[in-house]
């Protein structure tokens, strides 16, 4: 009896592992503390100039990353910190290595939608749009956020109520037609000078337009809301 008891301690870990379902070996957890912090800080820097509040989520690989004293994060060529993105981790030194981890960057910000159904060619006013808040990375990059960008704009095609407003859906109001006689205005400190000219191209509000004056001079300026050409000073 004593002989059996003498050998029992040698088999105790195996018996416990079989009886309790404990793993025979434990995988080392990923050394992700530094890696996660490096990626998060890198993406915060990348999103510093973007509109909205950035929310960053990093997914590290299941296996442990090699140790590194000077870990560097980077984005592949052509990639941007927008939505789902792969972020590179590079370790320089005698035994360099490179790995990629997945991250998601959400930008909580304001954007504009059509407050009601808008017909094609409709000039936009204050009551035609409404502000919404959401993840800008889930929307087209051309979505508008500043109501000032709508000044002098009309819709190119029909826009459904509640749809985000995109730059390609709008165009400026045409105020000058090619061949039209227009006023060319030059302003300075304490003076204003104007003369008539013939427009050489069609122009929307804020667009550059060229014209020829009666004495044959070529001038270039910006079309204003009144259909005049304002010369740059």
Q: Is the pLDDT of residue 93 over 70?
A: yes
Mean per-residue pLDDT of the chain: 83
Helix (H) or strand (E) holding 73: strand 72-74
Chain centroid to Cα 27, Å, comes to: 39
* Phi, psi angles (nearest 5°) of residue 170: -125, 155
pLDDT at 10: 41
Average pLDDT of span 197-215? 90
- The string of pLDDT tens digits covering residues 165-192 is 999 999 888 889 999 999 999 988 888 8
Other beta carbons less than 10 A from residue 62's beta carbon: 8
Q: Is the pLDDT of residue 24 over 70?
A: no
Higher-pLDDT residue of 105, 69: 105
Q: What is the DSSP letter of 30?
A: P
Own/partner long-range contacts of 218-225 (Cβ < 8 Å, ≥24 apart): 219/184, 221/184, 221/185, 223/175, 223/176, 224/175, 225/152, 225/175
The HSE-up count of residue 97 (CA atoms within 13 Å, CB side) is 8
pTM value is 0.62
- The string of pLDDT tens digits covering residues 54-84 is 999 999 887 788 888 889 999 999 999 999 9
Confidence of residue 28 (pLDDT cuts 50, 70, 90): very low
């Amino acid at each position: 009896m004593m002989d059996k008891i003498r050998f029992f301690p040698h088999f105790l870990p195996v018996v416990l592992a079989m009886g309790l379902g404990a793993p025979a070996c434990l995988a080392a957890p990923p050394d992700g503390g530094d890696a996660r912090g490096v990626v998060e800080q890198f993406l915060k820097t990348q999103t510093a100039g973007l509109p909205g509040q950035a929310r960053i989520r990093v997914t590290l690989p299941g296996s442990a990353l090699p140790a590194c004293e000077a870990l560097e994060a980077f984005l592949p060529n052509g990639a941007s910190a927008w939505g789902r993105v792969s972020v590179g981790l590079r370790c320089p030194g005698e035994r360099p290595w490179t790995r990629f981890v997945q991250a998601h960057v959400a930008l909580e910000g304001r954007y504009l939608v059509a407050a009601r159904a808008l017909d094609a060619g409709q000039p936009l006013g204050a009551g035609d749009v409404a502000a919404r808040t959401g993840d800008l990375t889930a929307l087209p990059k051309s979505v508008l956020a500043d109501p000032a960008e709508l000044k002098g704009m009309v819709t190119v095609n029909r826009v459904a109520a509640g749809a985000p407003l995109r730059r390609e859906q709008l165009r400026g109001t045409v105020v000058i037609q090619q061949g039209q006689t227009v006023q060319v205005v030059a302003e300075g400190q304490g003076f204003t000078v104007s003369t008539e000219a013939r427009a050489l191209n069609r122009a929307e509000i804020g667009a550059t337009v060229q014209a020829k004056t009666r004495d044959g001079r070529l001038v270039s300026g910006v079309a204003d809301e009144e259909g005049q050409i304002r010369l740059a000073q």
